[in-house]
Every structure is written in C-alpha cells, then in structure tokens.
Structure 1
Amino acid sequence: MEFLRNLPTDDPAALAGLIDIRPGRVVSMALTRSEHCQMTLLAFGDGESVSEERYFGDTLYYVLEGSMPLRTEMGERILAAGQCLAMPTGVSHAIGGAGPFKLLQITVQ
C-alpha cells in the first residue's frame, strides 16, 4: 500500500487492539504516509498528556477507549469512547491528563 501502513490487510481487527496503553507513556502509531493527511493511533497512560499544540490542518479526535479530556481557550470537554470532536486548523488545544485512553487522530490539510 502506498499511503496506509500498520493496518490489517488479511483479517479485520479492532483499531483499539492495534495499540497498547503503557503506564507512564504516550504511545503512538502512524497509519498513513502522506503530507496532506495524518492518521495516528495514540494510547495515553494514566495521567499522561500532550501540552498545547496547533496543527497544520483540521484535526478530528475519535476516542476508542476510556475518556479523553480536551482543553481549549473555551474550557475543557470530556470525550467518551465512541465520541468525536473536530478542531479547526491553528486552534490551540491540549489533550489528556486524566485516566488511560486510546484515540484515533486524523489531521487533514
């Protein structure tokens, strides 16, 4: 495959099962090879977070397991498993800092 990687090609699998939560770490797995679309699986250990960031394109967060705190200038939101939220290009935000969770992050330019 030219653009997708680290994904099952023979048998279907749950996205959440492709990455493991590790205590004290943020684990990531890139699912694409493209400068215009980045898809990444992320697994956050209990209390782990990513500080404020701004992305090059619109970003979609889809929570696979657990619940994900997302902080913006307008306050904090908690996304539960199965929920998603989009952040526009250039909007500063931070994620994590609570219990363990897994998510799919897609950024499109």
Structure 2
Amino acid sequence: MPFRNLPTDAAAPLSSLVEVRPGQVSSRSLTRIGDALAGTLLAFDEGESVSEETYAGDTLYYLVEGEADVNGVWMAAGDVLMVPAGTLHAVEPVCACKVLQLTLF
C-alpha cells in the first residue's frame, strides 16, 4: 500500500494527524514510493526548525496551520509553495505550525 498512517474508516482533518510537541519537530510519514515520491506531515513547536536541506526532486510545501518562512517566502495556513530540486532551503516557523511536504523525485 503506497499510503500509510492515514485514516481509512472515517475522514479526519489533516492537522489532526500530527501533534505539536513542546521543544520538538514531530513528523508522520504519509507515503514513500521508492525513488518517486515522499510525503511527510511535520509539526513544529514555536522556535523549532529544521536545518537547510537540498532534495533531489521538486518539493511542495502546504502550510496546514500557523505561519512559516520557507526559503525567504512567508506562508500562512492554506498557502502552498514549490521549491525546485537542488535548491538549498529551510522551513523556519514564525509560530507553532504544521506543514505537509511532498517531494517528487
């Protein structure tokens, strides 16, 4: 099954699938299809971030909750941004937030 960690018997809000935890970045893998696609739901506590990264594929960021700066672009809940393959970038939350990250390799 290419998708995992998703509800199958009842619909649920995407934001409910990962929790913001004090002093942490939490994640929930939603899919990994070989070298083709990776999907992860991330939750950042206020003041937490991830280091700059480069992905071999184009990466879509969808801000589920909160506000964040992704590669110098301010995002609010409901916004989407694509970072091209090979671009060094980071997710810097402005406050506690949840982000869906999809990378196509």
TM-score normalised by the shorter chain: which range applies?
over 0.9
Q: Deviations over 1:5-29 (max 9, x none)?
A: 0001110111101111011100010
Query: 4+ runs of 1 displaced by more than 2 Å?
Result: none
Percent identity over paired residues:
48
Q: Write the letter of the residue equivalent to 1:108.
A: L
Residue 24 (str. 1) matches residue 23 (str. 2): yes
- Larger % of strand: which? 1
State whether residues 61 and 80 of structure 2, in contact with CA within 8 Å, keep that contact through their aligned partners in structure 1. Answer: yes
State whether residues 26 and 48 of structure 1, in contact with CA within 8 Å, keep that contact through their aligned partners in structure 2. Answer: yes
**Unaligned ranges ≥5, structure 1:** none
Match of 2:68 in 1: 68
Residue 93 (str. 1) matches residue 92 (str. 2): no
What is the DSSP-based 3-state SS (H/G/I as helix, E as strand, rest coil) of the residue aligned with 2:51?
strand
What is the DSSP-based 3-state SS (H/G/I as helix, E as strand, rest coil) of the residue aligned with 1:29?
strand
Q: Write the letter of the residue equivalent to 2:67.
A: S
What is the DSSP-based 3-state SS (H/G/I as helix, E as strand, rest coil) of the residue aligned with 1:4?
coil
Q: Could you state the TM-score of these two structures normalised by the residue count of structure 2?
A: 0.95
Number of aligned residue pairs: 104
Summarize the alignment of residues 47-86 of structure 1 with structure 2, pairs less than 5 Å apart. 47-71=47-71, 76-86=72-82
RMSD: 0.9
Report the alpha carbon displacement of residue 97 of structure 1 after superposing the two structures with TM. 4.4
Match of 1:45 in 2: 45
**Unaligned ranges ≥5, structure 2:** none
